[in-house]
């Protein structure tokens, strides 16, 4: 059965959208990422106008992160204080990002900037995660204990002021790094239409050195706040949130997320990171092809703003 979307002004098959939401929700529950970096390109590929796809994805990210976060909260795998500190930076970042988004659209280079940021980000993050998880897996197989992850070596981070204690993360560090990471991810999420989990998760593990078990819950928690704010911001500035599309994606997403959390509980942390790394790299390589291969049609069409 086809359903008409009032804001996208087109009709879609509800099962296709429900399935997309479910698949992305599953990954969201599995890896603790919002899944926006997959959903936005998927929706655009299906024919949803990119402005609507970007804006509506953030409402889907909110919902699928909620059910994931509640599941993690029950396992006490969530650092609320850390989440709030990062979200404060994130909200400032989103506001800046929405402004930047509008400016780049006027310059006509939006597509290039979005694709290039995806390629650089996904490529870097994916490669780092792949190397790390492979090294950990190899170490585990050869019988040696995986070491180095929680080594409390003193980096520049420990020299920063405004130190505070994050109890659930068993950290005593400055609030500056989490706020800055939140700001950067918030900016990226407004430009790229993503929650930013695939940046936050590695940043928490490698820069903040948070224990892996609280990383999932905390990243989901901060994504909820930023994605909810982005949805409202997109609705008030671009009128581009499609509530019917959002409802379909969310129904699929929340169900998928529950299965994702259950499967994720049975896999080991480094296995999860290996899978996420491969997924992130695959999307990055696909987008890189789009930038360097000659396009089918040199001309593109857009409504004049």
Partner 1 sequence: MRAIAAITAILLAAAPAAATENLVAGLSQDTVEITSNYTGTDIVVFGAIEQAEAGGNDVVVVLRGPDADMIVRKKDSVAGIWINRDQARLYGMPSYYYIASSKPLAKIADHDALQRYAIGLSNLAPERISSHHDPKPFIAALVRHEQQAGLYGESATGVEFLSPTLFRAHVPVPASVPRGQYNAEVYLFRGGTIMSAQSTPLFIDQTGLERRLFEAAHSSPLLYGLSTVLMGILMGWLSSVVFRRNA
Spatial distance between the Cα atoms of 175 and 197, rounded to a whole number of angstroms:
19
Spatial distance between the Cα atoms of 131 and 77, rounded to a whole number of angstroms:
26
Minimum gap (Å) between residue 8 Cβ and partner 1: 9
Instruction: Name the one range near partner 1 by CB under 8 A: 33-41, 79-87, 122-130, 256-264.
Output: 256-264
Q: Which is nearer to partner 1, 164 or 237 (CB)?
A: 237
Range 270-275 contact pairs with CB under 8 angstroms and sequence separation of 24 or more: 270/133, 270/136, 270/137, 270/140, 270/146, 271/133, 271/137, 272/30, 272/31, 273/129, 273/132, 273/133, 273/136, 274/129, 274/130, 274/133, 274/134, 274/137, 275/30, 275/31
Contacts of 178 (CB under 8 A, 6+ apart): 82, 85, 86, 89, 208
Containing 253, the helix (H) or strand (E) segment is helix 243-266
Establish if 294 lies at the interface with partner 1 (CB under 8 A).
yes
Q: Which is nearer to partner 1, 20 or 181 (CB)?
A: 20
Establish if 285 lies at the interface with partner 1 (CB under 8 A).
no
Minimum gap (Å) between residue 152 Cβ and partner 1: 35
User: Site mask, partner 1, residues 28-67, x = CB under 8 A?
Assistant: -------------------------------xx-xxxxxx
Tokens of 159: 């020299």
Q: Quick one: which of 100, 104, 180, 244 contacts partner 1 (CB under 8 A)?
A: 244
Minimum gap (Å) between residue 302 Cβ and partner 1: 5
SS3 67: helix
Establish if 3 lies at the interface with partner 1 (CB under 8 A).
yes
Query: Quick check: 223 and 197 in contact, CB under 8 A?
Result: yes
Q: Cα-flanking dihedrals φ and ψ of residue 162, to 5°? A: 60, 45
Instruction: Name the one range near partner 1 by CB under 8 A: 186-194, 195-203, 209-217, 229-237.
Output: 229-237
Minimum gap (Å) between residue 56 Cβ and partner 1: 8
How many residues in the shown chain lie near partner 1 by CB under 8 A?
58
User: Site mask, partner 1, residues 101-140, x = CB under 8 A?
Assistant: -------xx-xx---x------------------------
Query: Quick check: 59 and 248 in contact, CB under 8 A?
Result: no
Instruction: Name the one range near partner 1 by CB under 8 A: 174-182, 196-204, 277-285, 295-303.
Output: 295-303
Which residues of the chain form contacts with partner 1 (CB under 8 A)?
1-4, 6-7, 9-11, 59-60, 62-67, 70-71, 74, 108-109, 111-112, 116, 228, 231-236, 239, 241, 243-244, 246-247, 250-251, 254-255, 257-258, 262, 291-295, 297-304
């Amino acid at each position: 059965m086809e359903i008409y979307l009032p804001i996208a002004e087109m009709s879609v098959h509800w099962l296709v959208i429900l399935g997309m939401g479910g698949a992305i929700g599953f990954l969201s529950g599995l890896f603790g990422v919002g899944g926006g970096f997959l959903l936005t390109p998927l929706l655009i590929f299906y024919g949803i106008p990119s402005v609507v796809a970007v804006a509506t994805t953030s409402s889907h990210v909110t919902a699928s992160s909620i059910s994931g976060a509640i599941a993690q909260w029950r396992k006490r795998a969530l650092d609320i204080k850390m989440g709030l500190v990062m979200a404060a930076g994130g909200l400032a970042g989103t506001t800046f990002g929405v402004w930047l988004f509008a400016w780049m659209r006027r310059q006509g280079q939006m597509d290039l900037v979005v694709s290039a940021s995806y390629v650089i980000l996904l490529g870097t993050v994916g490669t780092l995660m792949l190397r790390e998880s492979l090294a950990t897996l190899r170490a585990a197989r050869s019988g040696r204990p995986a070491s180095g992850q929680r080594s409390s070596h003193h980096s520049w981070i420990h020299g920063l002021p405004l130190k505070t204690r994050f109890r659930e993360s068993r950290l005593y560090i400055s609030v500056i790094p989490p706020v800055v990471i939140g700001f950067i991810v918030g900016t990226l999420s407004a430009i790229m239409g993503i929650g930013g989990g695939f940046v936050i998760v590695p940043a928490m593990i490698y820069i903040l050195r948070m224990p892996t078990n609280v990383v999932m819950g905390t990243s989901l928690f901060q994504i909820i706040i930023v994605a909810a704010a982005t949805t409202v911001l997109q609705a008030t500035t671009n009128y581009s949130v499609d509530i019917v599309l959002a409802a379909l994606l969310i129904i699929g997403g929340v169900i998928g997320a529950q299965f994702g959390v259950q499967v994720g509980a049975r896999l080991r942390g480094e296995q999860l990171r290996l899978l996420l790394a491969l997924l992130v790299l695959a999307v990055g390589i696909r987008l890189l092809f789009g930038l360097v291969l000659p396009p089918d049609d040199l001309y593109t069409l857009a409504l004049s703003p």
